[in-house]
Copies of this chain bind each other. A is one copy, B any other.
Amino acid sequence: METTHREDQRSATERRRRELLEAAERVVLRDGPGASMNAIAAEAGITKPILYRHFGDKGGLYRALAVRHTDALVDALRAALDAPTDRRERVEAALDTYLAAIETRPQVYRFLMHPAEESGGERGFDVGQHSAPLLRRLGEELATVIAERVDLGADREERARVWGHGIVGMMHAAGDWWLGERPCPRERLVRHLADLLWGGLATAQDLAGGPGL
């Protein structure tokens, strides 16, 4: 039969693709985001051209590898933001979810956040967008959540997007620094960040003597 064959082929191809992705993930977890296509092909027991047939491009492979983890993280964050508690608790839960993720699998995190940029290829590649796509996506997701649920007045959508990207950036930068230095346990970091978002900077008093901030 024809269709059966075609479907078998398709499913076999997808299975193979998953296998290749898992091999790639092993290598990336071992060698970091700079892992070479040769190394990935060797780990998968094949040679380079096959990788290029499946993913077209190193960026394609990395993108395919990224969406899986990104999807998982976005789902977890959405769940945290949907919990039936008050806003502060939900924000803390979301922060903790993100920080727990990067704490548990820092290599995955680094791969997602610092993917290698294009090198020699003349590939157009939207210039200026080679910043980590995960951050952009998280920012947009949070922006829609905020716009959906919070009353921000007239320029609601604009404010929501600024705040979404801003909050995600805060979480990311603080998490990146914390992951490198580990200056305090996770729950304290979560509390400090939530305090900052809850207007800590606005309400704190100036220290005596200095010019104030």
Taking a contact as CB atoms under 8 Å apart, the answer to whether A197 and B206 are in contact is: no
| Integer count of this chain's copies in the complex | 2
In the complex, what distance in Å separates the CA atom of A34 from the CA atom of B125? 13
Taking a contact as CB atoms under 8 Å apart, the answer to whether B196 and A177 are in contact is: no
A167-211 to B contact mask, C-beta < 8 Å, 1/0? 111111110111110011000110011011111111111110011
Q: Closest residue to A210 on the B side, CB-wise? A: B149
Chain A contacts to B: CB under 8 angstroms: 32-34, 81-82, 84, 87-88, 90-91, 106, 110, 113-114, 116-119, 127-131, 135-136, 139, 145-146, 148-152, 155, 158-159, 161-163, 165-174, 176-180, 183-184, 188-189, 192-193, 195-207, 210-213
Taking a contact as CB atoms under 8 Å apart, the answer to whether B166 and A196 are in contact is: yes
Taking a contact as CB atoms under 8 Å apart, the answer to whether B149 and A180 are in contact is: no
In the complex, what distance in Å separates the CA atom of A168 from the CA atom of B176? 12
Most chain B CB inside 10 Å of its own CB: which residue of A90, A127, A129, A131:
A131
Q: Closest residue to A84 on the B side, CB-wise? A: B211
In the complex, what distance in Å separates the CA atom of A194 from the CA atom of B174? 18
**A211-B82 CB under 8 A given contacts A139-B177, A179-B128:** yes
Chain B residues with CB under 8 A of A127: 32
Chain B residues with CB under 8 A of A198: 199, 201-202
A184 to chain B, nearest CB (A): 6
Chain B residues with CB under 8 A of A172: 169, 173
**A203-B199 CB under 8 A given contacts A139-B177, A162-B189, A183-B161:** yes
Taking a contact as CB atoms under 8 Å apart, the answer to whether A150 and B213 are in contact is: yes
A188 to chain B, nearest CB (A): 7
Taking a contact as CB atoms under 8 Å apart, the answer to whether A207 and B117 are in contact is: no
Q: Closest residue to A207 on the B side, CB-wise? A: B151
